[in-house]
Amino acid sequence: MAAVQCVKCAKEGEAITDTLFMGKLESEIKAKVCKDCWKQWEGMRVMVINEYQVNLGEESGRELVKKQMRAFLNLGETVDTSKLQQNFKPQA
């Protein structure tokens, strides 16, 4: 098992091995985020799309999701996620 020092949870965790289809951003995510935190983001992503009524067919919608992802995963983006955080229930 490969390990990564995660910037989200600040712990050493299992590295992401799946293909993420994130282009240039994929290597940064795989180098800095553990598999468990990525799974949390996958749940949060659905919530972001629903809460903000994002149209992923538009560039602005994809950029909003990308900014929310970078903020959620502590990858150097700052956005207001308070509305989402209070409604987010991690999967058990």
Residue 22 confidence (pLDDT): 86
8 A C-beta contact, residue 28 and residue 8: no
Residue 48 confidence (pLDDT): 93
Segments making up each domain of the chain, as ranges: 3-87
CATH classification number, 3-87, choose in 3.30.565.10, 3.90.920.10, 1.10.20.10, 1.10.3880.10: 1.10.3880.10
pTM for the full predicted model: 0.83
Q: Tell me the per-residue pLDDT of 4-29, one tens digit each, with 9 for 90 and over.
A: 999 999 999 999 999 999 888 999 99
- Work out the angle between the directed axes of helices 59-72 and 35-51 (0-180°, nearest 10): 140
Flag whether pLDDT at 92 surpasses 60.
no
